[in-house]
Amino acid sequence: MSAASNPPQSVPGPVDPNTLLPPDEPVQLLDDQGTLHEVEGFPLDLKDEDFRNLYRYMVLARRVDKQAINLQRQGQLGVYASLLGQEAAQIGGAYALDEQDWVFPSYREMGAALVRGVDPGKVLHLFRGTWLSNHDPMATHFGLLSIPIGTQALHAAGFAMGAKFDGKDLVVMTYFGDGATSEGDPHEAMNFAAVYDAPCIFFVQNNQYAISVPLSKQTRAPTIAHKAVGYGMPGFRCDGNDVLATYAVARQAVDRARRGEGPSLIEALTYRMEAHTTADDPTRYRTPEELEEWKRRDPIARFETFLEAEGLLDDDFRAQIDEEARGYAARMREEIYDAPHGDPMELFEHVYVDPPASYEEQKAMLRREIASNQEGGS
């Protein structure tokens, strides 16, 4: 057959775009009163223990977040990016993953970090400035916190491509925000993941603002989830303050990826109840009424109502979580409070496996400077 006889292609695959579109209404399993409703296509496979565990992670995340903010207020951290209000989105998503799976986070993912077993105190070294990073991504399967917006999505896509080519049962989830969907890298990442059927979940926490800029100034798309269709992958949309919805939607996306059916985009509608970071003043760009409205939709309070009605939440369990949270907070203070910076000579240690000869000269210079400061300074 000659090339000329090939018909022009518009859509390369057999996918009906209508099957990829998000539903008109975001998936919600727990309504605002905490009553559970079944939603077709998003069954819950959770046991009582899982319900309690989801709650536990959410409460721990909020307490860890509060401790981090306090450490910043006390001058122990230079800055901190709070997740307050986004606990359900992060934790529901990460809870759908298995141990061998990987997460590629942005800098606001302390909730997902907890689910992956990452020590929050270690993460805070980034914000204190003792180290650029101080947890082990290889051991925890939790990537380094990525600060340039959306760039980690490509690392996730590449990792998932690697797993796919290697025939491994492994799913990758990357988190980014609504603002990141205007950057190029997440789009290139979605396209790559889709082209190679890579097991990669793009989990967007749409917290309504990119620092001060609202979503309405970020995109003209009907929703963020619609963007998935352009890449031939399904776009899911859910109530991000409903942990059962974020879990159930993530479950579908993860199972799909594990079956070899490729990537998905999830848009979880949520709200950043704190400032962008501790250096930000949100009163300059949003109203107290808006904040109050979202406080009424608090993800933890809603889930609590449900658990109480189900008889899954008693004083013993609350006390147990409280004790665990105190332990976390204490260890964070221990790790961070007045933590000295590392050995300056280590600055040269990790840049290269095989460093240039010039490093020896520069290390000698730094050693002399340190020695002379110690002599003159004290």
Contact status: 154 vs another protein (CB under 8 A): yes
Q: Which of 27, 58, 110, 144 binds another protein (CB under 8 A)?
A: 144
Smallest separation (angstroms) from another protein to the CB of 189:
6
For the CA atoms of 48, 313, 25, 82, the dihedral, rounded to the nearest 10 degrees, stands at -110
Contact between 268 and 246 (Cβ < 8 Å) = yes
- Catalytic position from the list 272, 297, 302, 328: 272
Q: Which two tokens stand for residue 326?
A: 């105190």
Contact status: 352 vs another protein (CB under 8 A): yes
Smallest separation (angstroms) from another protein to the CB of 175:
15
Contact status: 78 vs another protein (CB under 8 A): no
Q: Which among 247, 248, 255, 266 has a CA at the least distance from the CA of 92?
A: 247
Contact status: 132 vs another protein (CB under 8 A): yes
Select from 56-64, 109-117, 321-329, 350-358 the region that touches another protein (CB under 8 A): 350-358
Contact status: 114 vs another protein (CB under 8 A): no
At 73, which amino acid appears? R
Q: Looking at 119-216, which runs of residues are DSSP E strands?
A: 172-177, 200-206, 209-210, 213-214
Q: Which of 70, 182, 191, 305 binds another protein (CB under 8 A)?
A: 191
Q: Which of 37, 75, 353, 378 binds another protein (CB under 8 A)?
A: 353
Q: How many whole angstroms separate alpha carbon 218 and alpha carbon 278? A: 23
Q: How many whole angstroms separate alpha carbon 61 and alpha carbon 110? A: 7
In the residue annotation, 175 being an active-site residue is answered as no
In the residue annotation, 367 being an active-site residue is answered as no
The owner of tokens 């985009």 is: 265
Q: Which of 54, 161, 228, 269 binds another protein (CB under 8 A)?
A: 161
What is 326-359 written as a DSSP string?
Answer: HHHHHHHHHHHTTPPP--GGGGGTSS-SS--THH
How crowded is the C-beta side of 237, counted as CA atoms within 13 Å?
18
Binding stretches for another protein (CB under 8 A) = 104, 131-134, 136-138, 143-144, 146, 148, 151, 153-163, 165-166, 172, 184-185, 188-189, 191-192, 195, 346, 349-354, 356-358
